[in-house]
Structures are given as C-alpha cells and as structure tokens.
C-alpha cells in the first residue's frame, strides 16, 4: 500500500466502458471458505465502475479507483492467502486489503505481507494473518493496460498460526525513561500488527496497523527517532508521537531526512519536546517494506537555551511565570531599534526597545524590578503589551524607587489576568538606560477583594431631592468588570464600581469629581438606568473648570424622575484610581423648552472600516465628537462645523486598533451615539 494506507497503486488512466455482474459489492453472494479449503474466483473487470464501491470520505474513497468484487465467509480464525497465479497477462497492480463492510470504509484489514514472485509468473500474492471469523469483501483493482481483463484468483484458508505482536496495543506497553544525552533501542516485529485499540474513532490514522513503544522525559528535550539499519529500506513510517492511548493527541515531527542514515532510512526530529510520556507507533506496510523485525534508535539531547530578549516583539519566545515563582530577564538593549514595535498611532511609536515575553496561567500580581543596574536607569517603560505591534499598553498599578535600595524602579501590576504579555526594555542613553541589564519579574497570587459596590446589583439607591446634594465616597482600587455591562456593550471590559440615586421629579443633575488629587483624567460621563448597564443616559455638557483643580464636572439636563446608576471607572494609567469623593447635585429642570424633536439617527459609514469614516444626519450647529474605546477611554475628539449640519468626516485610519468603538456627539440640545467597528 502506498502513501501510508497499505495499497499498491498507480494512476488510473482510463474510464471503464461497461459494468460487470460483480461491479458492486452489494450485488455479490459471499462464498463459504473453510480452514484447509480453497476458492477459485474468475471474472473480467473490463467494465468496472467506481460507483458505490467505497464509503464517501473514507481512506479508500480517496483513490477513486474502479473495482469489481468477490467475498467469502469464514466461521473460525484463519490465515488467508490470495493470489492471482495463472492470470494472463499478469496484474501489475492489486488491492491488498480485505474490507469488512460493503461499501468498504476505513475498517479494512491490510495484508501482513505481499509477494510478486511466489506465483512465478509475475502475478501478486497477499497474505492475511489471524483473520477472525466473519465475512470479507475483496476488491479487484482495475486499470487499463496494467490490471484489466480476465482474471483467476485463488483464495486459501489455513489454521491461524501467524502469531501476534506483544506490543500490538498501546495500552500494553510500559514507558521507558529517556534521559538527556541518553538513548533507547526500540526493537520488535511488526508483521502481525493490527489496528485494534490504536487510534480513537475519527482519527485519520484509524485502521492503520501499528505496534507501539513508549518513553518518558522529565525535562525539555530535542528527540530523534532513527530507522537506520533496516534492510530493505522502510519507505513508509509514521512521523509522530502520541500523548495518549488510544492515540488522539499527536505531536508531529519538526523535521525529517533520509540522509542521517547512510542507508536511506528515515530519521525524524522532534524539537523542544516538553517533559512527559509519549507513545511511538511503528507502522506495518508490506508494500513499502515496512514489515518484519525492526530495531529503531531513540535519543534525546537538552533543549537549547531559550533566548530571553529580542529586538522585534514578533520574535519573542514566551517564558512561563507561575504564581510564587520569579524569572530573571537578562539582555542588552544597546542595539535596540524602534522598528515594528508599536502601532503607528501609539504615543510610543519609534521608541527603541528590546522585548521579553511571559505567560501566566492564573490571575497574578506581577512585580517588575530594575534593581542592581549601575548607574541607575532613570527612564523605563511601566507597561506590558498584549499584542504585537503594541496598540494598547497594560499599565502598572503602582511604582516606586524605594524597593530597590540603589534607587532603580519597581513596577507593580495588580490583578493581571492569565495570558501572555510582552515586556519592553527601553533604550535611552541620555538617562543611563543602555547596555547589559538583568531584571527580576515575579508573580504572587491575586488577593482580589473587590469593593462592596463592585457590582451594581449590590448598591442601594439613595434619594436625591431637588435642591440637595449626595456625596458618594469609596475606593475603586480592586474594581472588576464582572457583571457591570451587558454583553455587546462597548464598555464590557471597563472595571467600575457603582453608586445609585433616585429622583422623584424632573431634575438637572450635576456630577462633580472635584477634589480628586491628582486630577482624574478619565471618567465616565453617563448614567445607567439598568443593572447591568445597558440603557445609558449621556451628559448634556461637561467641563474641567467647574472644579478649581481641573477635575471634571458633568451636567445632565432634564433628567426624568427615576433610578440611576453612577459608574466610577478604575484607570490607574490616568490617575482614576483609589479613594474618591463625588458630589451629585439636583436642581429644578431649567430647559423644558428645549427642542423636543428627536434628531434623525446617525449614519456611520463605512462600518466596519479602516478608521476613515463619515457621519451623516448630523443636527445643525456645532457638536463635540468623541471616540471611546471598550474601556471607556476617549481616544479622539474633534468639533463639527458650526454653520451647518449634515455630514462630517473622521480620518482615523492607522490610529485605531481593530475593535469596537463608541461614537458620541454632544451639543447644547442633543446627545447622540453610535457604535462602529475598525477592522
């Protein structure tokens, strides 16, 4: 059998012209075959068709080869011989399988051995060993000028005596230890291999007869599997290991060659094989000389040291960082470049850095320390990247110059979700950040204690009467995004804590962040009327002058009586982090005469886009245009023309990362919003 499926074949050159009586396996009656007896099948395959012979999608179906059929039934185990002796002219191609179903599927039995010399006239002979009692269908290969015309086939049954392979099933083998620098010799005889219990149902290798070996490594290893010395050369073999039994989880070779063995046999190389137990399949394929006794060599060498720093983030190899463990990140940033490190629209675009990579499997508090650098590095980057090139930085929670006694900086990233992160090391010779370095990165278990008001369902609405003020206080340090907004909301990933108030009449409500120090430069200018947040009410106007120190004030005009939820965003990168005090003031509605006519819905097109888009159906007059990302951060603002409404343009191509954004337009009389997607 060629191409890993135990069939002797060549290209089919001509279509048959007329069908035979036994063209379909379903149209034949199996002959009884007893042990010690023989059958003689005669016929002519000149009109064979392909229709109905094989199960669609099966291994055999892939050959699209016409066949005629015979069948036999045995009532006890038998060794079966099938030969074409006496057929003139000799058949140069033949099937060497017994199908167990009609049409034939993947549950076929391949021969253990074939011969083109046993007949003495060039015809083939196939030997099937230890065939269980049952009914079997035998296909006759059809190919113009090669295997076509009248044929005589002799079928003989003898007592089972072929034997069986001791390691025929993976479940029966014991794994041997394979140490670095060591080797194992895998020896056996594949002649009597079966396909029973070898691969899971549905595997592309189900039905392939193999025997098995197994080995165990305790550390990363480069492993080679060599077939050197097999004579004649085995021209078919399996280039994979299995991690389980029956096999479904396969590890494919990294490379292979037929030159390491001077005799032309194959060697498979498996690079950086993780510690574990692996099963080694040895394939039976008599037509490619893969039959009989064998001796294979398995050897292991140490995995090469994984480089820890790279100039391009796309080259990084990630190192695992477990909770309670630490890594030393060493390198040299002297030759760092700014090529392809950051998105063109990033404020860090062009900064020369080298990169490291870490992977965590659980929530972690991560510490990155520059201790020991001499002279002290006075400029470093306090963020991770989650994509390459970097678009959105993952900023530190806190930093200090005290944990390192030499004045170098330490960054702390709290509650970092499991995942892979890129760590940039900046080159800045002016600030001593140049040359060889050694950094320490460590992980501790997240000690997340979310605030009591982390979930809007846990807050109690307070009464807000006209002419009164509520003061909301709290701490958003450990805010999470769980349960805050409905699925599909552009703010789904934003970590917030909540407060709530209820009004009994129409009110103008003022939301004031005055007193926050340092100034909170990112806050949410909307209220939610549902929990989780879905229906949102945006501010009418906003300013940074109502608070003398520059914090933000939001005014909500003509707020109908009802209950409202106030989200307090946690964003350490913009100082919106820690303890807070927010005043909510209610006054009589002053703008009942505002235009009650709702403007036409915005049209944003194209949507999705590359960031260059147009906005149609704008109300007349000047409007503030804001673009907000999924965390609620404003990433772009501009004003529309004051004179006319209609259409405005946003030219943001190359400045926005792929994702969903919220477009917010605000005027004295209207508040409009629309989502859009950047590809």
**pLDDT higher than threshold 50 for residue 588:** yes
Q: Mean pLDDT in the chain?
A: 87
How many CA atoms within 13 Å lie on the side-chain side of 672?
Answer: 22
Q: What is the pLDDT of residue 564?
A: 96
Q: Encoding tokens for residue 247? A: 């096999």
Please report which confidence band the pLDDT of residue 609 belongs to, taking 50, 70 and 90 as the band edges: confident
Task: Answer whether 25-159 and 313-445 agree in fold.
Answer: yes
3-state secondary structure of 353: strand
Q: Encoding tokens for residue 173? A: 């083998």
Looking at the DSSP bridge assignments, the partners of residue 310 are 355
Sequence-distant (6+) residues with CB within 8 A of 345 are 391, 654, 655, 656
Pairing of strands 125-131, 38-44: unpaired
Output 287 or 401, whichever has higher pLDDT. Answer: 401
Task: Determine the Cα–Cα distance for residues 586 and 661; give it in Å rounded to an integer.
Answer: 31
* Residues 603-678, CATH architecture: Sandwich (2.60)
Q: Encoding tokens for residue 207? A: 């039905």
Torsion 1-160-162-33 (CA) sign: negative
Task: Determine the Cα–Cα distance for residues 573 and 586; give it in Å rounded to an integer.
Answer: 31
The CATH code belonging to domain 170-302 is 2.60.120
Looking at the DSSP bridge assignments, the partners of residue 71 are 137
**pLDDT higher than threshold 80 for residue 599:** no
Q: Among candidates 625, 638, 637, 631, which has minimal Cα distance to 661? A: 631
Task: Determine the Cα–Cα distance for residues 386 and 383; give it in Å rounded to an integer.
Answer: 10
Q: What is the pLDDT of residue 352?
A: 95
- 54-63, 366-375, 463-472, 519-528: least confidently modelled range: 54-63
Burial class (CB in 10 A: 0-12, 13-18, 19+), 22: buried
Query: Structure pTM?
Result: 0.40
Q: What is the pLDDT of residue 619?
A: 73
Q: Give 54-90 pLDDT, tens digit per residue.
A: 998 888 887 888 999 999 999 998 889 999 999 999 9
In degrees to the nearest 10, what's the CA dihedral of 191, 195, 198, 201? 160
Burial 600-623 (b: 16+ CB within 10 A, else e): eebebeeeebebebebeebbeeeb
Q: What percent of the chain has pLDDT over 90?
A: 54
Task: Determine the Cα–Cα distance for residues 111 and 113; give it in Å rounded to an integer.
Answer: 5
Task: Determine the Cα–Cα distance for residues 585 and 514; give it in Å rounded to an integer.
Answer: 12
Q: Among candidates 426, 281, 302, which has minimal Cα distance to 353? A: 426
Q: What is the mean pLDDT of residues 163-185?
A: 89
Q: What is the pLDDT of residue 621?
A: 66
Looking at the DSSP bridge assignments, the partners of residue 224 are 269, 299
Q: What is the pLDDT of residue 593?
A: 33
The CATH code belonging to domain 25-159 is 2.60.120
Q: Please count the residues of the chain.
A: 679
Q: What is the mean pLDDT of residues 153-180?
A: 86
Q: Encoding tokens for residue 477? A: 């340090």
**DSSP symbols for 617-660:** EEPSS--EEEEE-TTS-EEEEEE--SS--EEEEEE-TTTS-SEE
Q: What is the pLDDT of residue 118?
A: 86
Residue 573 phi/psi, 5-degree rounding, is: -65, -25
User: SS3 sequence, 307-324?
Assistant: CCCECCHHHCCCEECCCC
Q: What is the pLDDT of residue 282?
A: 96
3-state secondary structure of 571: strand
User: SS3 sequence, 23-40?
Assistant: CCHHHCCCEECCCCCEEE
Q: What is the pLDDT of residue 597?
A: 45
Contact 116, 130 (CB under 8 A): no
Query: 335: which DSSP letter?
Result: T
- Range picked from 229-238, 303-312, 315-324 for highest mean pLDDT: 229-238
**DSSP symbols for 428-441:** BGGGTB-SEEEEEE
Cis status of the peptide bond prior to 127, with omega within 30 of 0: no
Task: Determine the Cα–Cα distance for residues 567 and 457; give it in Å rounded to an integer.
Answer: 12
> DSSP E strands: which ranges in 504-656?
507-512, 526-528, 536-538, 541-543, 553-559, 562-569, 579-588, 603-605, 612-618, 624-628, 634-639, 646-651
* Residues 313-445, CATH architecture: Sandwich (2.60)
Q: What percent of the chain has pLDDT over 70?
A: 92
Burial 237-248 (b: 16+ CB within 10 A, else e): bbbbbbeebbbe
User: How many angstroms separate the Cα of 628 from the Cα of each of 42, 449, 487, 490, 553?
Assistant: 80, 28, 17, 8, 18
Pairing of strands 267-273, 125-131: unpaired
Cis status of the peptide bond prior to 206, with omega within 30 of 0: no
Residue 604 phi/psi, 5-degree rounding, is: -110, 120
Torsion 347-349-350-356 (CA) sign: positive
Residue with tokens 């980057």: 381
Q: Encoding tokens for residue 92? A: 């140069």
First to last CA, the chain: 49
Task: Determine the Cα–Cα distance for residues 31 and 154; give it in Å rounded to an integer.
Answer: 13
Q: What is the mean pLDDT of residues 469-474?
A: 95
Please report which confidence band the pLDDT of residue 3 belongs to, taking 50, 70 and 90 as the band edges: very low
Output 13 or 182, whichever has higher pLDDT. Answer: 182
Would you kindly state where each structural domain of the chain is located, as residue ranges? 25-159, 170-302, 313-445, 456-588, 603-678
**pLDDT higher than threshold 50 for residue 472:** yes
Q: Encoding tokens for residue 307? A: 């480089």
- 73-87, 317-331, 426-440, 583-597: least confidently modelled range: 583-597
3-state secondary structure of 294: strand
Task: Determine the Cα–Cα distance for residues 101 and 285; give it in Å rounded to an integer.
Answer: 21
Task: Determine the Cα–Cα distance for residues 143 and 137; give it in Å rounded to an integer.
Answer: 19
Pairing of strands 507-512, 469-475: unpaired
Q: Give 186-228 pLDDT, tens digit per residue.
A: 999 888 888 888 999 888 898 888 999 999 999 989 999 999 9
* Residues 456-588, CATH architecture: Sandwich (2.60)
Burial 120-152 (b: 16+ CB within 10 A, else e): eeebbbbbbbbbeeeebbbbbbbbeebbbeebe
Q: What is the mean pLDDT of residues 166-193?
A: 91
- 6-20, 59-73, 115-129: least confidently modelled range: 6-20
Q: Encoding tokens for residue 502? A: 């209820």
Contact 99, 138 (CB under 8 A): yes
Output 666 or 124, whichever has higher pLDDT. Answer: 124
């Amino acid at each position: 059998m060629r191409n890993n499926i135990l069939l002797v074949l060549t290209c089919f050159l001509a279509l048959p012209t007329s069908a035979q009586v036994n063209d379909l396996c379903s149209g034949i009656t199996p002959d009884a075959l007893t042990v010690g007896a023989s059958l003689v099948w005669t016929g002519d395959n000149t009109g064979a068709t392909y229709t109905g012979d094989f199960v669609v999608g099966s291994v055999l179906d892939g050959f699209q080869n016409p066949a005629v059929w015979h069948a036999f039934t045995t009532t006890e185990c038998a060794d079966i011989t099938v030969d074409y002796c006496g057929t003139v002219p000799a058949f140069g191609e033949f099937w060497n399988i017994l199908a167990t179903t009609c049409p034939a599927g993947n549950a076929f039995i391949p021969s253990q051995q074939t011969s083109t010399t046993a007949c003495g006239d060039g015809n083939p002979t196939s030997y099937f060993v230890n065939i269980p009692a049952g009914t079997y269908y035998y296909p006759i290969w059809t190919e113009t000028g090669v295997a076509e015309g009248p044929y005589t086939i002799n079928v003989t049954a003898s007592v089972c005596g072929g034997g069986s392979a001791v390691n025929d099933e993976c479940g029966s083998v014991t794994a041997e230890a394979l140490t670095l620098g060591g080797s194992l010799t895998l020896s056996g005889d594949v002649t009597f291999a079966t396909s029973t219990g070898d691969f899971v149902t549905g595997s592309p290798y189900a039905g392939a007869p193999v025997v098995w070996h197994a080995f165990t490594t305790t550390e990363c290893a480069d492993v080679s599997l060599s077939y050197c010395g097999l004579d004649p050369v085995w021209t078919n073999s399996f280039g994979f290991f299995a991690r389980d039994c029956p096999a479904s989880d396969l590890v494919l070779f990294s490379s292979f060659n037929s030159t390491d063995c001077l005799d032309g046999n194959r060697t498979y190389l498996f690079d950086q094989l993780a510690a574990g137990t692996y099963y080694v399949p040895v394939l039976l394929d008599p037509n490619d000389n893969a039959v009989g006794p064998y001796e294979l060599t398995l050897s292991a060498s140490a995995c090469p040291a994984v480089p820890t720093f790279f100039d391009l983030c796309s080259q990084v190899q990630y190192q695992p960082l477990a909770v309670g463990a630490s890594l030393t990140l060493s390198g040299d940033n002297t030759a760092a470049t700014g090529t392809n490190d950051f998105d063109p629209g990033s404020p860090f675009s062009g900064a020369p850095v080298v990169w490291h990579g870490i992977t965590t499997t659980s929530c972690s508090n991560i510490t990155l320390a520059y201790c020991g650098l001499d002279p002290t590095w006075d400029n470093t980057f306090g963020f991770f990247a989650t994509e390459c090139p970097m678009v959105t930085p993952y900023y530190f929670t806190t930093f200090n110059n005290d944990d390192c006694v030499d004045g170098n900086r330490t960054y702390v990233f709290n509650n970092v979700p499991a995942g892979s992160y890129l760590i940039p090391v900046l080159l800045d010779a002016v600030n001593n950040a140049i040359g060889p370095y050694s950094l320490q990165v460590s992980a501790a278990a997240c000690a997340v204690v979310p605030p009591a008001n982390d979930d809007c369902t846990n807050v109690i609405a307070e009464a807000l009467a006209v002419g009164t003020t509520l003061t909301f206080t709290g701490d958003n340090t450990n805010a999470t995004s769980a349960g805050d907004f409905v699925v599909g909301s552009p703010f789904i990933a934003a970590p917030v804590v909540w407060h709530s108030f209820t009004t009994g009449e129409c009110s103008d409500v003022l939301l004031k962040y005055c007193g926050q120090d340092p100034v909170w430069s990112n806050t949410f200018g909307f209220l939610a009327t549902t929990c989780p947040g879905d229906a949102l009410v945006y501010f009418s106007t906003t300013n940074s002058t109502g608070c003398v120190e520059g914090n933000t004030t939001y005014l909500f005009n003509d707020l109908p009586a009802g209950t409202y939820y106030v989200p307090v965003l946690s964003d350490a990168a913009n100082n919106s982090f820690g303890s807070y005090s927010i005043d909510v003031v209610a006054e009589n509605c002053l703008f009942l005469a505002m235009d009650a006519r709702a403007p036409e819905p915005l049209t944003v097109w194209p949507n999705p886009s590359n960031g260059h888009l147009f906005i149609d159906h704008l109300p007349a007059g000047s409007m503030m245009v804001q673009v907000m990302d999924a965390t609620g951060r404003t990433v772009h603002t501009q004003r529309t023309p004051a004179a006319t409404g209609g259409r405005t343009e946003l030219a943001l191509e190359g400045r926005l990362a792929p994702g969903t954004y919220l477009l917010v337009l605000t005027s004295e009389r209207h508040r409009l919003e629309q989502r859009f997607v950047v590809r």
